[in-house]
Structure 1
């Protein structure tokens, strides 16, 4: 084998990866080569690492004294042992960067050097903290296999062979158990932090959804309120445009309706803006309309020139829930607006019946207009909004043409 080929196939041992090929270490420790993934040490990390270094040095000094008092150990061997122990103590600073590499490298090093025993235990503890149990089992198992040979090679002068073996097994198990306890505690803290972040994200999403639903409700409210007022403006402005020769009294009345409708539109806009600023529709603006305001709505429509018949047969009208009454009012308001636009000049019938326990029924019907249905642009969002409003109130809404060519809207709302 040539030198170049041998250099390509021989294992590379760098840093704390002594006696282990880099390919094997990469398989057992996937994070070993990711030198840039660990954050920089904090002040606490420096303190802990320095304490580990001091502890390893103290254990090494104790081992050096034991070697000095053992006459069976040659002086060159004791000196070599101390040099290896000093290098192992310096390698403690690499324990965060290569936990598995350092722990695996300390298996053969601690076998030949008594002064590096403290570093081996610190490296095993670090491995148990930073890596899964399968890595710890490999390293701890290697220590268990080698310790009987080590005690046979270098017997403890103060303890019997069996007692020293049991003491080493208990010490290794305690170090591994302590490291796994620290690891599980850290994982618990990370899990709790992740749950907290997830809970904050879910709360933010719920708040955004609630805000979106509130904005949709405000948009429906804006459509229901403003469409009625603006239709009145359009009708009277159209009458003034097509009948410039109308009597002065009619022109003055139409102008008064336009002025009043414009004032109502501005008032409604102020209410909606107040809702948007306050963020709560129950605390901003004037009180919302209820079923009792239905007479006023019909009177406004009649004042605008519509023919409206109101048939209200409600048992205990004062006991109607506010939300149910408001929904019934908005349904009638939107239907009158649509009838004014799509069936001008027809007679619209508004029927409201019901009682406690039987629900509230709202029916708005108009016949076909003379000359056919005029083409008025519209997106149909009003009826969609009414259907959603009735569904949110726990009721149902149906709409469609009648056999005589007219149009009918039927809604049924719960009234417990």
Structure 2
């Protein structure tokens, strides 16, 4: 098993054990390499161990140089849980015992896990004993400072600064990684939201068209119950086909909606193209609508997919609205375009007498079409012009 494959808790425990053993070994090595009397405060380094010898049981007397580094280094096992208290305790004890390695590790942990204000306070506590030592010996007359004391104090200050700086760097790197992760999550959410909005538009355009056809045929049967058997059979077949196609379209859209965003194998719902306009018009004519189609398109097969799809949706939504708001009225569809000249789609129908200009709850499909046209770099306008309702879309078609 590689290091990355291990669980985080297991890796932390292995790291903590290595840190405790390493800090204890280094602290004991420093203690044996230097005489106790040349540490920062000679009197304290003499009195405190003697006082501990009176408290410790007989087998442990005279072994403070071994026991204190071991006990202090063992505190590093809990440095992630209580980084500040452990760093302060080890920093203060390092003025009496050679615990600099353990104190540096504790300072690094505190800087990596706590805010910079807390880190600044802990660093000040760590440097305070050394600053007091230099200040006291520089002002006391007749007190001789060891020759190596200034150099050792400066070295400790450099080590403390390095440990704290490294901890701050690790903390900044971790925060930067977390910020990048959050930004990536926000971008993914934004992409997912845009996809959901696109699917909602598709669902509205497709289902509204299918259901309006179904309603039209059902209404014809309702108002003419005595129609010939052949017409009733034909209308029932169209109703069944429209309902079946509506269910299929709904299943396709929901299938894409349920698929994970990262699923690269998912299939997108089939999208209409400009050539499908003829079938769309024929379908509506079969439902009983009177439609006049004036199509003059050069090289329609070369039209961009987004442009052709938008033109199809414009005509589809206009026909759906005509069936709902102007039943029985003729519809005129004009489609002109060529590469380099753009594509113009216009759908008009007379407004029946007594029809209100705005129907409550309506117009959402046309608003969605305006957004769709803007996405491909075109424009769409709609509204009433006298006794005629007009939907006009101008879409780009590069040469």
Does the pair score TM above 0.5?
yes
Structure 2 CA distance, aligned partners of 1:304 and 1:77?
103
Query: Scaled by the length of structure 2, what TM-score is found?
Result: 0.75
Match of 2:4 in 1: none
Task: Name which of 51, 65, 68 aligns with 1:90.
Answer: 68
Structure 2 CA distance, aligned partners of 1:226 and 1:362?
22
Match of 1:411 in 2: 393
Tell me how far 1:354 sits from its aligned partner: 2.2
**Structure-to-structure mapping, 1:104-253, within 5 angstroms:** 116=96, 118-119=98-99, 125=104, 129=108, 130=110, 131-132=119-120, 134-135=124-125, 138-148=128-138, 153=143, 164-165=146-147, 167-253=148-234
Q: Which runs of 5+ in 2 are unaligned?
A: 1-11, 53-62, 77-82, 111-118
Deviations 1:196-221, CA, capped at 9 Å, x for gaps: 22222221222122112111111110
Match of 1:63 in 2: 36
Match of 2:28 in 1: 54
Deviations 1:111-155, CA, capped at 9 Å, x for gaps: xxxxx3635x56875786454255555443222223457895467
Aligned residues of 2:36 and 2:46 also touching (Cα < 8 A): no
Structure 1 residue matching 2:272: 3-state secondary structure: coil
Aligned residues of 1:226 and 1:265 also touching (Cα < 8 A): yes
Q: Which runs of 5+ in 1 are unaligned?
A: 1-38, 68-72, 108-115, 156-163
2:257 pairs with 1:276: yes
- Computed over aligned residues only, the root mean square deviation of the Cα atoms, in angstroms, reads 3.8
Give the number of aligned pairs. 350
Tell me how far 1:345 sits from its aligned partner: 1.0
Aligned residues of 1:311 and 1:352 also touching (Cα < 8 A): yes
Q: 1:377 to 1:123 in 2, by over 3 A?
A: closer
Higher gyration radius (CA): 1
Structure 2 residue matching 1:365: 3-state secondary structure: strand
Structure 2 CA distance, aligned partners of 1:291 and 1:78?
92
Tell me how far 1:282 sits from its aligned partner: 9.8
Structure 2 CA distance, aligned partners of 1:102 and 1:141?
16
